[in-house]
Amino acid sequence: MVIKEDIIFKRSKKGKKAFNLPQKDDIKTLFEKYKDDIREYTSEDFPNLPELSEVDIIRHFIRLSNMNYNVDLGFYPLGSCTMKYNPKINETVSAFSGFRNIHPLQPDYTVQGALRIMYELSEYLAEISGMDAITLEPAAGAHGELTGIKIIKKYLESKGEKRKYILVPDSAHGTNPASTTLAGYTAKTIKSNKLGMIDIEELRKNLNDEVAGLMVTNPNTLGIFEREIKEIAELVHKAGGLMYMDGANLNALLGYIRPGDIGFDVIHFNLHKTFSTPHGGGGPGSGPVGVKAFLKDFLPGVQVIKNDSGYQRKETGDKSIGKLLAFFGHFAVMVRAYTYIRMIGKEHLKSISENAVLNANYLKQLLKVAGYEIPYDSIPMHEFVATGAPIKKKYGIRTLDIAKRLLDYGVHAPTVYFPLIVSEALMIEPTETESVETLEYFAEVMKKILKEAEHTPEIVKTAPHNTPVKRLDDVYAVKNLKVKYEEIEDKNERRDS
Ligand SMILES: *Cc1c(COP(=O)(O)O)cnc(C)c1O
């Protein structure tokens, strides 16, 4: 069913409402009466709100949600994003009123359960990663990167070292150079070799006493494990730099490899990827950072400690990089990650990565048989990258067209045009939660699209055809950026269906 839905303001009708106030006052009178008390949260004038009945509101949002694609609806092989199925028990637990209805400023003795979760989650993450101390404060992966690089900077500066550069491989996620820059360093790109791994000679050439560290995603964004990581770590350490691991791909390593054991000093986790909180669409994430003991004093904000009287929050000392958030991080995401780890259990954590890697390898093989080319074709870990370049050359069909056509078959598109070192990239991460039937269906659809590219290319070029919103004109949107609905409509420039 294709649904149309306008913005909620269009449904507004004067006098409609979804509530009854106990007094005769109407909402405007109340606003005037209490304006001074709520000034912190609102403007001087009564806000321009749509007027609707409860039914109108519910239908509006349910319609919108029905237009959305999500991981509970179907396959979502978005490479690098680890869009795994999120067990519903996590939601149940995080919604316990003892977790949901607490406030960060409550005294410690009233929130012992919550503090225990934070304490134990930190312990689990330390054990999983081979690190000595954890902060749960960062709000997402990129925020974790910023935290980690700031820690490196403060540590080096405490030794009187003013270094300038962070080295970042050319396969890195865009957040790596961005966080580096924000933390006050300059990012320098290191080329990959023919195997898609860090080129050690390139690294050697760039290492000197101006380099603060190396940021590595391992396995990298091609899904390839950096096999020379120990040697790389040795070289970086010898040059006085630190090793930062972007842990977004930890789903490939759980229970097998601990980043702290292979030379990394700092790591961030993406709890919303590896540890199963729903994400995408800007929902809350959580990007804890783990460090080796010598960096412990530089951690931000507040640590939860355990002593005779229970669990306590403790401010970090003078060396700390300071606070990054108003409070203590995204607690509900921590509860989900904690529940997930406890439900799976220490001895089965490995099976997450085993199945993630098995699924990626099986799917890669199916796609090769279907006629897709894999440029850095080794045995991948939890994800792999195909290229649409030959298809573009042969039929004029771009990777973007393939991605859009997939939507017509009820599948979310993979990540496209990333990593940048593969032209017309299709980056595919099936995760461990998909069945063999789902993988085979996806390969079947990809094969069909390849046939369409050859015989009926127009269908692919103009896809999607079955979705609520059809092909958008991205270039037009970027060049004529308008964020106000009225503005767009006045000029009759709405470009959806
Ligand atoms: C997702 C991702 C990030 C950024 O994490 P966010 O939680 O989205 O901020 C960084 N690096 C890699 C490799 C990623 O996949």
Query: Among positive and negative, which fits the CA dihedral 93, 96, 99, 101?
Result: positive
pLDDT given for residue 241 in this prediction: 98
Collapsing DSSP states into helix, strand and coil, what is residue 243?
A: strand
pLDDT, one tens digit for every residue, the chain (497 residues): 556 788 899 999 998 988 887 767 777 888 888 888 877 776 777 888 899 999 999 999 999 988 889 899 999 999 999 999 999 999 999 999 999 999 999 999 999 999 999 999 999 999 999 999 999 999 999 999 999 999 999 999 999 999 999 999 999 999 999 999 999 999 999 999 999 999 999 999 999 999 999 999 999 999 999 999 999 999 999 999 999 999 999 999 999 999 999 999 999 999 999 998 888 776 789 999 999 999 999 999 899 999 999 999 999 999 999 999 989 999 999 999 999 999 999 999 999 999 999 999 999 999 999 999 999 999 999 999 999 999 999 999 999 999 999 999 999 999 999 999 999 999 999 999 999 999 999 999 999 999 999 999 999 999 999 998 899 888 888 898 887 766 665 544 444 43
Q: Which residues contact 443 (CB under 8 A, 6 or more apart)?
A: 363, 366, 367, 369, 370
- Both tokens assigned to 58: 């519910």
Q: Whose CA is nearest to atom 8 of ligand 1?
A: 141
Task: List Cα–Cα distances, 18 to 122, 252, 383, in angstroms.
Answer: 43, 48, 47
**Amino acid identity at 130:** G
Ligand 1 geometric centre to CA of 141 (Å): 5
| Distance in angstroms (rounded) separating the CA atoms of residues 423 and 375 | 9
Across 353-489, where does the E strand assignment appear?
384-387, 415-416, 425-428
Domains in the chain: ranges and CATH = 8-67 (no CATH), 102-344 (3.40.640.10), 353-466 (3.90.1150.10)
Written in H, E and C, the secondary structure of 128-189 is HHCCCEEECCCCCHHHHHHHHHHHHHHHHHHCCCCCCEEEEECCCCCHHHHHHHHCCCEEEE
pLDDT given for residue 33 in this prediction: 84
Which residue intervals of 326-348 are DSSP H helices? 331-344
Query: Among positive and negative, which fits the CA dihedral 473, 476, 482, 488?
Result: negative
In DSSP terms, 168 is beta-bridged to 189
270 lines ligand 1 (CB under 6 A): yes
175 lines ligand 1 (CB under 6 A): yes
Ligand 1 geometric centre to CA of 273 (Å): 9
Task: Give the number of other Cβ atoms within 10 Å of residue 62's Cβ.
Answer: 12
Q: Nearest 5 degrees, angle CA 197-CA 198-CA 199?
A: 110
Q: State pTM to two decimals.
A: 0.91
**Amino acid identity at 133:** A
pLDDT given for residue 3 in this prediction: 63
Alpha-carbon dihedral of residues 273, 276, 280, 283, nearest 10 degrees? -110
Q: For residue 426, which phi and psi values (nearest 5 degrees)? A: -125, 110
Query: Among positive and negative, which fits the CA dihedral 70, 74, 79, 85?
Result: positive
430 lines ligand 1 (CB under 6 A): no
| Distance in angstroms (rounded) separating the CA atoms of residues 448 and 252 | 30
- Both tokens assigned to 388: 């649409």
Task: List Cα–Cα distances, 29 to 13, 22, 37, 99, in angstroms.
Answer: 19, 13, 14, 35
pLDDT given for residue 489 in this prediction: 57
35-39 long-range contacts, CB within 8 A, separation 24+: none
80 lines ligand 1 (CB under 6 A): yes
pLDDT given for residue 469 in this prediction: 86
Ligand 1 geometric centre to CA of 317 (Å): 29
Which class for 210: exposed (0-12), middle (13-18), buried (19 or more C-beta within 10 A)? middle
| Beta strands 133-135 and 289-291, pairing class | antiparallel
- Both tokens assigned to 380: 């991948």
Contact 247, 131 (CB under 8 A): no
| Distance in angstroms (rounded) separating the CA atoms of residues 387 and 385 | 7
177 lines ligand 1 (CB under 6 A): no
HSE at residue 396, side-chain half, CA atoms within 13 A, is: 7
Ligand 1 geometric centre to CA of 248 (Å): 6
Cα–chain center distance at 419: 15
pLDDT given for residue 175 in this prediction: 96
Q: Whose CA is nearest to atom 14 of ligand 1?
A: 248
Q: Whose CA is nearest to atom 11 of ligand 1?
A: 173
| Beta strands 302-307 and 211-217, pairing class | unpaired
| Distance in angstroms (rounded) separating the CA atoms of residues 386 and 380 | 12
Q: What is the layout of strands, in order, in the sheet containing 165-169?
A: 133-135, 289-291, 266-268, 242-246, 211-217, 165-169, 186-190
142 lines ligand 1 (CB under 6 A): yes
